Each structure stands twice: as structure tokens, then as C-alpha cells.
Amino acid sequence: MLGNIPSKKPKTIFYKPSYSSGNGTLQIEKLFNKRVFSNPKPLQLLWDFIEIGLSRNDTILDFFAGSGTIADAVMQLNAKDDGDRKYILVQLPEKIDKKKNKTAYDFVKDELKANNPTIFDITKERLIRAGNKIQADNKASKIPKDLSKQDFGFKVFETMPIWEDYDFEADEFDKQQTLFNEITLTENDIKALLTTWKTYDGIALTCDLEAIDLGGYCGYYASQKLYLMDQGFKTENLVKLLEKIDKDTNFNPTSVVAFGYHFESKNLRENSENLKSYANKKQMDIDFIIRY
Ligand SMILES: C[S@@+](CC[C@H](N)C(=O)[O-])C[C@H]1O[C@@H](n2cnc3c(N)ncnc32)[C@H](O)[C@@H]1O
């Protein structure tokens, strides 16, 4: 001891030589034939974490995906023990600094053909290469396993900003909100809003909304929720909607959610009353929800 300051650092007791970050670097180099990411975690460390903390059908969430080692580790373990572990990775579209990491920058630009190379490009490519490698190695092994039930695919979701001062809690038209002039809303704004509402309503991101034609007006439907986002919903569209509810066995909206800014308040009242009072053949209670 030097005064009150300890002079010796404790060594971790959770250690194996295979946990060295050099191992992680070698593993990435093997997949990409070059060093495209600095200090990725070694697979061995993550296998041990996963086996300590997860059962074989759990989902692991990594908010700082980097090169995506956790997904590689999950796929490899699943292939080894027929597990059904799932992963969710989050990665910022952090730009790759051309000066600091020229190898990675050039690789993403030249081989992956990305205009603005980001770390996410590496994450995504790692998942593709890792999945392919596991299958190729298995095929080339002496006793290949049946991996046909293993899922080596993945879906990519991207967050999109909703317009800056959007008020999710608003429950009526706010004249002060000049931004909500339909002219200022782009198709992407509406798409972002629809995804936000869908998630809020408990519909999985993996569940696509179905476009429903209501006599020339397009509604969006999933999990018994129908979203009316666009302008121009008229009485004839409401009639089509009621007909579809009666006739289509696969169409059972218990909530109809309307984007209030795209309706006149008189129409909103009428639609709400008509939907609620109409004695549909399925005897379903249908809620009419207005969101702004
Ligand atoms: C040290 S790396 C992770 C390495 C990873 N475990 C591997 O083996 O490749 C951390 C990553 O987190 C990302 N990151 C940093 N801040 C973040 C944030 N707020 N949200 C999401 N990702 C973030 C960085 O872009 C970087 O890729």
C-alpha cells in the first residue's frame, strides 16, 4: 500500500487465454480477409456469457453491436446444439473515419459499394458472412449436421425521426401546430408515424401492415387494427369498409385509428358514430380512435 492507495490491481477471475482481444481480431480477419474492426470481442468470451446467462431459446439484446460478434456467437452455438436463441442488435449509423480506419473505409466503399461508409455496414456484412461460413464449414465437415431448421437470416429496421414537435399525446386539433399542415407532411413522415403507432399498439415490427382497398381509399391493417392515415376518406369509403367487415372473414378490425389532421372534424364525428352504431354481421365492437 502507498498511503491509502492500493498498489496492486486485482486480476479478473473470469478469464481464459482464449478471451484475448487478439483472438477477436483474428476471427474478424478470417471472415473479411482484412482488419475492418478494432478490438472485436472474441467469440469464446461471448459463448461463455451466453451459456451462463441464456437458455437455448432466449433472446439476447446487444445495444452496442459493433462488428456483430454476439450474433455470430449465437448462430454458431445454435448450429452446435440445435438451439433457438435469437438476437437483437442495435448499431448507430456511425461514420467510419477514413483517416483512422482506412482499411474499413475502403472495404465498405469499394466492396460493399456504400457511398457513406458506416459501422453498421460492417455489422450487416459480418452477419451475412458468419451465417454463410457456418453453413459452408458444416458442409465441409466429416459428419455434416442438418442445419435446415436453423435461421441464418435477419431483418434490418431503421429508426426514422418523426417531425420535430410531434405531440403523441395530443387528443385534439391544435391550431397552434402550424407544422401539421398536410402540405408539409411527406410520405416518409406518414410512414414513420404509422410505424410508431403500430409499435405503440403492440404490433411487432416484423409484422407487415396490409394495404386494404376501401373503394379507392387505402387503409393499413394488421392485428385487428385498421389505420386511416391519408386524406380523402369519404362516405363511400366508409360504406366499403362496413361491407368488408361483414364479408371478409380475414378482416376483423376491432379498432379503427384515424389520423385526425387528415379528416374534417365533422367527418370524424360521423365516421365514429356510424362505425359504432352499425350492427355488423360479426357482432364485433369496433372502436374509432382519433390520433393527432
Ligand atoms: C466497442 S464496440 C462493440 C464491439 C462489439 N462487442 C464487437 O465484438 O464487435 C461499441 C459499438 O457501439 C456503438 N455505439 C456507441 N454508442 C452507441 C449508442 N448510443 N447506441 C448504439 N450504438 C452505439 C459504436 O458505434 C460501436 O460500434
Show me where the domains of the chain are located: 17-140, 178-291
Query: Is any atom of ligand 1 closer than 6 Å to the C-beta of 91?
Result: yes
Query: 282 pLDDT band (50/70/90 cuts)?
Result: confident
- The closest alpha carbon to 72, from 135, 114, 157, belongs to 135
Query: Is any atom of ligand 1 closer than 6 Å to the C-beta of 179?
Result: no
Q: Where are the beta strands (DSSP E) in 141-217?
A: 210-213
Residue listed under C-alpha cell 407544422: 179
Query: Is any atom of ligand 1 closer than 6 Å to the C-beta of 207?
Result: no
106 vs 111: CA distance, rounded Å: 8
- The more confident residue out of 166 and 55 is 55
Query: Is any atom of ligand 1 closer than 6 Å to the C-beta of 23?
Result: no
Residue 179, pLDDT above cutoff 70: no
Residue 88, pLDDT above cutoff 80: yes
Residue listed under C-alpha cell 465441409: 140
**Do 60 and 74 contact (CB within 8 A), yes or no?**
yes
| Atom 12 of ligand 1, residue of closest alpha carbon | 64
Chain segment 198-233, per-residue pLDDT in tens? 999 999 988 999 999 999 999 999 999 999 999 999
Q: What is the pLDDT of residue 2?
A: 58
